Structure 1
Amino acid sequence: MTDVDSSDGLMTPIRPEQLDPGAVIAQSLDNQWVPAQLTKDMIEQGRSLDQVGRERGKEVRAEYFRSLINASQVVINRAYFYNNDAINRDLVQEGEPRTAHQRLLASGAIVPFLLNERHPAEEPPPHLHVRREGFTAWQETLAGMPSADRVRCVRMSWGDPLDDRENREQTRTRLFQPFTEKVQGLTAKHFDILAAQVGVAPEDADRFGRRLGEVVEFSNGLSVRRQPVVRNTLYEEFVSVPGTNVAEGRYDRNKPFAGEIKQLLDLIYNVNLADALGRYPLTPVGSLRRVVLQEAREARVTPGFVEDPEQLLTFLRRQAFSVVQDRLTPAAVDELELQDIWRLRQTSAWNEYIRAFGALTAAPEDFHDSVGRVFDRYVRLNAEILRLARERRQARPNPWRPVVEVVVTLGAATFTAISGEDVWDVAGALAPLAVTGSVSGSVQLVLRNRRAGRQEQRFAREMAAVRLAGEQEWHQFLDLVRRLPGYREEVGPAPRGTASATTQDNEDPVEY
C-alpha cells in the first residue's frame, strides 16, 4: 500500500527516507542509558537508576542539548517525551521552556518516532509504563501548538489506517529481525578485540567469550521457540537482579560480565533504530562506539568504505587552522535552557556550522580541504554559546584551545591526531594481537577543547567506515603512519571502544 503524505491538522507523517540527511538518533535518551563508568559503579555499589538519577540526569540533559546543537534533526522515541525527565521537564514547566519545545517540534528539529501508534498524542497501551504527569504535559504541549504548525512524525510505514500490516511487516524486517541478528552474531566477532574494547582484561577474554556464547545460545533458543528476542528479556537473564523490574535498573554483580553485556546490548539496541531509519546513531562520550561490533556496515549508514591505506592516512595528516580570536568558552552547555538552544539554532553561526559539517560527512574523501571550514564554524558557534550563557549570567569562561581530533580505529589498534592552531599530535595504540584477514574500523571526528575532560561543548561522530583487505594493507597503513613527523606509539592492551528498543510484532507490543 502507498504511504500517507497528508497532514491531519497537527501531524505531518513522514517516512524514514524523508528525514534530513544529517538526522541523528541520540543514544543518551534511551531509558537504560548509563555511561560506562557509572554502570560499573552502579554494579559495584548495588545502586539503581533512581539512586543515580541526579548524576545521570545531568549527563542526559547535556547530551540532549548537544544533539540539538550539533545535528540538524534529532529523532526521538515518542515514549521519551513523557517518560524521560531530561526532555519532559520543559513540558511540565510550561511557559518559555514549553514554547521552545513547540518551536523545535514545528521546525522539524525534533521528530517523534512512532512505532505502532498513528498519532503523537495517542494514549499508550495500558500495559506500558507511563508517567502520567509527563504524558499529560506532552498532550498539552501538542494541543497548545499554533494552528498553522505541524509536527513531523516518522514511522516505518503509514499505509491504510484500517490495516496496519505493512507497518508491522516493515517494523519486523527493519527493527526486530536485525536486532536479533546482531545479538546472535556476537560469537562471530574477534573475541580478543571485542573483550579488550569493552574493558575485559586479557586473562578473562576466554571466560568472556564463553559468556557471550551463553547470550547467543539463549537468544537462539528464544528464536527456535518463536519467542521474541528483546532487550528486556536478555537483561532479565544476563544483567538485572532477579525478581526486579528491568525499568528499575538494578544490575546484578553476581552475573558474570553483567556491565559489559549491558553496554553491548545497549549499543546494539540504539544503532539498530538508526540503521532502520537510515541515519546516524549519536553516541555519548563514555559509551561504546559501534566500531566495537566489527561490522561491514551498509553504505546507507556511512558514505562508503575507505579501503585505500593512503586515502586513510589523509585523515591523520596535519591540518592548518586560522587563529582563534575568542579564547573563552562556557564551562558547560547544560547551564543553558531549551529556549537558548532554540535561539542558537536561529543564528547564522549555527546554520553555517551545520552546513559545513554536513558537507564534510557527505564527502569524507575531501577531508583535508573541508575540515578547516568546519573548525572555523565550530569556533564561531561556541562564541554564540558563550554570548547566550553570559546573558543568563551563568557563563564561567575558561581558557579555550579548540582542536579537531581524528580517531581512526582498525581492529585492536587506535590512531589519533589532534590539531588546531599551533597544536599537532599524532599517536598510535597497538594491541599485541596478530592481524589475520580483513581489518575493519572507522574514522571518527571529534571537536573539543584541548583541555581534555572539561564538560564543555563538544561533538563526536563517525564519518566513514574503514575496511582494509588484509595483513599487507594493514602493514602498509602502519608504515605510512609511522613516517608522520612526531608520531609516537604504545603497545599494550587494546584501547576501550568508547566515544561518543527493540520490540516484537506480538499481541502486546512493548514500547520501543
Structure 2
Amino acid sequence: MTDVDSSDGLMTPIRPEQLDPGAVIAQSLDNQWVPAPLARKMIERGESLDDVARQRLTDVRAEYFRSLINASQVVVNRAYFYNNDAITVDLMEEGEARQAHRRLLASGAIVPFLLTERHPAEEPPAHLHVRQAGFTAWQETLAGLPAGDRVRCVRMSWDDPDDDRENRERSRTRLFQPFAEKVQGLTAKDIDILAAQVGVRPRDADRFGQRLGEVVAFSNSLSVNRRQVVRNTLYEEFVSVPGSNVAEGRYDAGKPFAGEIKQLLDLIYSVNLADALGRYPLTPVGSLRRVVLQEAREARATPGIVQDPEQLLTFLRRQTFAAVQDHLTPAAVNGLALQDIWRLRQTAAWNAYVRAFGALTASPEAFRDSVGEVFDCYVRLNSEILKLARERRQARPNPWRPVVEVVVTVGAAVFTAVSGDDFWEVAGAALPLAVSGSLSGSVQLVLRNRIHGRQEQRFAREIASVRLASAREWEQFHDLVRRLPGYRESAGPGPTGRAATTTQDNEDLPEY
C-alpha cells in the first residue's frame, strides 16, 4: 500500500480489507434514508425532506448513535460529514461534541469512505452540492486533531496517484456495475414474495411486477447506451417529482409504486457499498432487510451458510439466560450526546459486548453456547447507557424486560423465537412452498426490550445465511419447528423484509 497524501500527519490510508471484521455501513446516514412510515406520509402529503427535517434528524441521529454503540467501526461516506445534519451538529463549534468526534475519528471508530478524493479535507468539486458551513466545520474538526492523531480513510485503491486509473476501475467494477446488476435482476425474483415484503397488496402484485419490469427495462437501456446506472437517475424516472432536485427528497405520489421502488433502490444502494467494502450493511429498524433481494447468499461478509434443517432449528430452540438484575433502561438513546457515546465505548461493558458478538458471528454454528453471553453483555451495556442518561437527566426509564429474538427466514416464510425474562414463544408465518419457491434466506439476531418502544436501544444483525438444498429439506425443517412446544403458525407471509423493531461524482464517476 502506498501511504499517500499523509505527509501532514493527518491521514492513514487503508484498503477495504483493512477495515475491522465487524465494521458496518450505516444505511441511516444515507442522505435519502427515511423511516418507511414517514416516507409513506411524505408521499401522501407531498412533503420534502426539508419539510420533515426535525423528525428525520431525531431518527437519523438515534440510528447513528446505535451504530456506534453496536459496532466496533462505522464507515461513513465523506460527504455525510458536512451534508448530514445528524453528524454536522457535533462539528459546528469547538466544544465537547467536536472533541468527542475527533476521538472517534482518531480511534478508528469512524472511518471516512473516499470515492474520488485522496484526502478527507479535500475541497469537493465545484458542481457538487455542499453545505459550506458544514464543510468548514469538518475542515476545522480535522485541523484541530491533536498532534500524532491520524484518521483512517478507506478507498478502493490508493495506487496510481497521478491518474487514479486503478481507483476508477475498482469503483466501476465493485460499486457501479454491481448496483446495475442488482437493479436489473429485480424481475428475476419471485414477484409475489417481493410484493409482500415491500407492502404491496396481493391484488396489486401483477401491476407491481409490471412496474418493476419498466424499472429494469429503463436500467437496461441506460447500460446499452453506455450511461451509468445510478440511483439518482432511477429516482428521477420512477420516484421523484418531475423537475425537482433529487436531493430535495420530494417523492411523487402520481408515479406508480414510487414508495416501494424507493425502498428497493435504497436497499440495493446500501448493501452494494457494504459488499464493495466486504463488510456489513447495518439496516435501520423498520427498513427493508437484505433478504428481500432473494439472493443465493446474504452479504459477502456473512460468515456462514446454514444448510442443515437440524442446525437451523438450533437457532429457534429455547435458550437459558442469566437472571436479569437491572429492571430499567433508558427510553431514548438519542437523549445522549456524542461525548456520552465516546465514554460508553471506553467501558468494560461495551468492549465485552463487542467481543461477545464478534465471537458469535465468527462461529454462528456455536449459537447455542455463545448467544447467552451476548445477551448478558447486552444487559450490562444497557446499564451503562442508563447511567449516562441519568447524568443528563434524560433517562425516562421504562420497565426493562430484555429479550433475545431470533428471526429465521426461508423464502416467504418467517419463524420467530423470543426468549428471556422468564418468557419464551415461537411463531411462524409460512406460505406453501409451491407459492414461495425460494429455499434461501437468513438468520437474524435481535436484542431488545420486550416492551416495544420506538426510542428503545436495540440491536439487530444478520448472523448467518440459509440455503436449503431441496423441498424435502424445507418440509423437514418446517415439521421440526411445528413440534416445538407452544408453536403457533399463521397462514401467509410474515414481515420477512423488515429489519426488526442498522458519493460523490466527477466527470468519470457520477454520484453513487
Q: What TM bracket, shorter-length normalisation? A: over 0.9
| CA distances 1:6-54 after superposition (whole Å, capped 9, x unpaired) | 9431000000000000000000000000111111111111111000111
Aligned partner of 1:212: which letter? Answer: L
Q: Quote the Cα distance in structure 1 between the aligned partners of 2:141 and 2:301.
A: 33
Aligned partner of 2:218: which letter? Answer: F
Look up the SS of the partner of 2:416 in the other structure.
Answer: strand
Structure 1 match to 2:457: 457
1:64 Cα deviation from its structure 2 partner = 0.1
| CA distances 1:64-111 after superposition (whole Å, capped 9, x unpaired) | 000000000000000000000000100003200000000000000000
Describe the shift of the 1:190–1:36 C-alpha distance in structure 2 as closer, same or farther (beyond 3 A).
same
Structure 1 match to 2:143: 143
Contact kept? 1:438, 1:471, Cα under 8 Å? no
Structure 2 match to 1:289: 289
Describe the shift of the 1:355–1:247 C-alpha distance in structure 2 as closer, same or farther (beyond 3 A).
same
Q: Quote the Cα distance in structure 2 between the aligned partners of 1:292 and 1:436.
A: 13
Structure 2 match to 1:183: 183
Describe the shift of the 1:138–1:284 C-alpha distance in structure 2 as closer, same or farther (beyond 3 A).
same
Q: Does 1:238 align with 2:243?
A: no
Structure 2 match to 1:98: 98
Q: Quote the Cα distance in structure 2 between the aligned partners of 1:467 and 1:127.
A: 46
Structure 1 match to 2:63: 63
Describe the shift of the 1:503–1:327 C-alpha distance in structure 2 as closer, same or farther (beyond 3 A).
same
Contact kept? 2:14, 2:155, Cα under 8 Å? yes
Look up the SS of the partner of 1:92 in the other structure.
Answer: coil
Give % identity.
Answer: 80
Q: Quote the Cα distance in structure 2 between the aligned partners of 1:314 and 1:239.
A: 42
Aligned partner of 2:424: which letter? Answer: W
Look up the SS of the partner of 2:442 in the other structure.
Answer: strand
1:453 Cα deviation from its structure 2 partner = 3.0
Contact kept? 2:114, 2:155, Cα under 8 Å? yes
The alignment yields a C-alpha RMSD, in angstroms, of 1.5
Aligned partner of 1:71: which letter? Answer: A
Structure 1 match to 2:221: 221
Structure 1 match to 2:264: 264
Aligned partner of 2:186: which letter? Answer: L
Aligned partner of 1:29: which letter? Answer: L
Q: Does 1:301 align with 2:297?
A: no
| CA distances 1:193-219 after superposition (whole Å, capped 9, x unpaired) | 000000000111111001000000000
Contact kept? 1:306, 1:467, Cα under 8 Å? yes
Q: Quote the Cα distance in structure 1 between the aligned partners of 2:229 and 2:425.
A: 45
1:431 Cα deviation from its structure 2 partner = 3.0
1:315 Cα deviation from its structure 2 partner = 0.4
Aligned partner of 1:258: which letter? Answer: A
Q: Quote the Cα distance in structure 2 between the aligned partners of 1:511 and 1:232.
A: 8
Q: Does 1:417 align with 2:395?
A: no
Q: Quote the Cα distance in structure 1 between the aligned partners of 2:328 and 2:312.
A: 33
Q: 1:70-149 to 2 correspondence within 5 Å?
A: 70-149=70-149
Q: Quote the Cα distance in structure 1 between the aligned partners of 2:313 and 2:507.
A: 52
Aligned partner of 1:468: which letter? Answer: L
Q: Quote the Cα distance in structure 1 between the aligned partners of 2:4 and 2:352.
A: 30
Look up the SS of the partner of 1:120 in the other structure.
Answer: coil
Structure 1 match to 2:250: 250
Structure 1 match to 2:19: 19
Q: Quote the Cα distance in structure 2 between the aligned partners of 1:385 and 1:495.
A: 30
Q: Quote the Cα distance in structure 1 between the aligned partners of 2:195 and 2:331.
A: 35
Q: 1:410-449 to 2 correspondence within 5 Å?
A: 410-431=410-431, 434=434, 439-449=439-449
1:432 Cα deviation from its structure 2 partner = 5.0
Aligned partner of 2:140: which letter? Answer: E
Structure 1 match to 2:313: 313
Aligned partner of 1:430: which letter? Answer: A
Aligned partner of 2:257: which letter? Answer: F
1:493 Cα deviation from its structure 2 partner = 4.3
Aligned partner of 1:391: which letter? Answer: E
1:304 Cα deviation from its structure 2 partner = 2.1
Structure 1 match to 2:383: 383
Structure 1 match to 2:162: 162
Structure 2 match to 1:490: 490
Q: Quote the Cα distance in structure 1 between the aligned partners of 2:342 and 2:211.
A: 46
Contact kept? 1:267, 1:288, Cα under 8 Å? yes
Q: Quote the Cα distance in structure 2 between the aligned partners of 1:496 and 1:503.
A: 32
Structure 2 match to 1:201: 201
1:163 Cα deviation from its structure 2 partner = 2.3
Structure 1 match to 2:370: 370
Describe the shift of the 1:304–1:468 C-alpha distance in structure 2 as closer, same or farther (beyond 3 A).
same
| CA distances 1:112-143 after superposition (whole Å, capped 9, x unpaired) | 00000000000000110000000000000000
Q: Quote the Cα distance in structure 2 between the aligned partners of 1:125 and 1:216.
A: 31
Structure 1 match to 2:53: 53
Structure 1 match to 2:28: 28
Which runs of 5 or more structure 2 residues have no equivalent in the other structure? Answer: none
Q: Does 1:331 align with 2:331?
A: yes
Q: Quote the Cα distance in structure 2 between the aligned partners of 1:35 and 1:292.
A: 17
